[in-house]
C-alpha cells in the first residue's frame, strides 16, 4: 500500500511537471507570435519573447535552442492551417470555373487575414537558409498531393519530357499564385484583384488541359 501511494505521488508530480512544461511552451509560442507580428523576425531577441511570455531566458532555452527554432514552430503552425486550403481544390469540382474562382479567392482572403505574419516570413527568408529550404519543399508537395485527386497533376509525376513540362507548369502556377497572394496582402498588388483571380483561374484550368483551347468565358464571383 505504501509503495502504491508513493507511485501515485510520483505519477502525480510527473503529470504536474508535464502540464507545467506544456503551459510554458504554449505561452512562449503565443508570445512569439505577438512579438513577430509586431516587429518582424530580425529585430526581436530571445529575451523579448521570454519577457512577452512572462518566463525567464533559461525557461526559453529549455524549450527552444534559439529564435529560429521558435520561429520555425510558429511557421509550421501557420502551415498546418494554410496547407489544407491550398489542397482544398482536390476535394471540389476543379473543372468548374466558378469553383476555381472561389478557391483562389479563399486563398487571397486567408493571406489578407494573416498579413502581419508575412513580414516575419519574408525576413526569415532573407536570413535563414533552413527556412528557405523548408519553403522550397512546399510547392512540390502541393503538386504531388493534388496528383492524388487530379489526373493532370498525377501526369506530372512521370519522368518523360511531357511529364516534366507539366510539373514545371504546375510549379510555376503555384509559385506565382503564392507570390500574388502575398503581394495582395502586403498592399503591393499593382492591378485589380478580381482580374488577377480571373487570370489565375484561367491558368489553373489550362493546367487541366494543356492543349491549346479557346479562352473560357464566365462571370467572376467577385
Could you tell me the residue ranges of all domains in the chain? Answer: 1-64, 75-222
Q: How many CB atoms lie within 10 A of CB 199?
A: 14
pLDDT tens digits for 123-163?
999 999 999 999 999 999 999 999 999 999 999 988 899 99
pLDDT tens digits for 15-36?
545 566 788 899 999 999 999 9
Q: What is the pLDDT of residue 184?
A: 93
* Cβ proximity of 176 and 105 under 8 Å: no
Q: For residues 53 and 222, what is the distance between their CA atoms, to the nearest angstrom?
A: 41
With 0-12 CB in 10 A as exposed, 13-18 as middle and 19+ as buried, what is 83? middle
pLDDT tens digits for 124-134?
999 999 999 99
For domain 1-64, give its CATH number from 1.10.287.110, 3.20.20.140, 1.10.10.60, 2.160.10.10: 1.10.10.60
Cell of 46: 530571445
pLDDT mean over 104-130: 95
Amino acid at each position: 500500500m505504501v509503495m502504491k501511494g508513493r507511485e501515485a505521488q510520483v505519477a502525480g508530480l510527473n503529470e504536474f511537471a508535464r502540464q507545467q512544461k506544456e503551459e510554458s511552451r504554449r505561452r512562449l509560442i503565443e508570445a512569439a507570435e505577438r512579438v513577430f507580428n509586431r516587429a518582424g523576425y530580425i529585430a526581436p531577441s530571445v529575451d523579448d519573447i521570454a519577457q512577452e511570455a512572462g518566463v525567464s531566458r533559461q525557461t526559453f532555452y529549455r524549450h527552444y535552442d534559439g529564435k529560429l527554432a521558435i520561429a520555425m514552430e510558429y511557421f509550421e503552425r501557420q502551415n498546418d492551417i494554410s496547407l489544407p486550403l491550398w489542397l482544398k481544390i482536390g476535394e471540389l469540382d476543379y473543372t468548374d470555373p466558378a469553383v476555381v474562382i472561389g478557391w483562389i479567392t479563399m486563398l487571397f482572403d486567408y493571406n489578407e487575414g494573416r498579413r502581419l505574419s508575412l513580414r516575419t516570413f519574408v525576413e526569415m527568408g532573407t536570413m535563414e537558409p533552413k527556412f528557405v529550404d523548408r519553403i522550397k519543399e512546399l510547392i512540390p508537395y502541393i503538386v504531388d498531393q493534388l496528383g492524388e485527386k487530379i489526373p493532370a497533376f498525377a501526369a506530372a509525376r512521370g519522368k518523360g519530357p511531357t511529364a516534366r513540362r507539366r510539373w514545371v507548369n504546375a510549379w510555376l502556377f503555384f509559385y506565382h499564385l503564392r507570390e500574388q497572394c502575398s503581394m495582395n496582402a502586403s498592399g503591393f498588388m499593382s492591378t485589380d484583384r478580381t482580374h488577377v483571380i480571373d487570370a489565375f483561374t484561367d491558368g489553373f484550368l489550362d493546367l487541366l488541359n494543356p492543349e491549346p483551347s479557346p479562352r473560357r468565358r464566365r462571370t467572376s464571383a467577385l
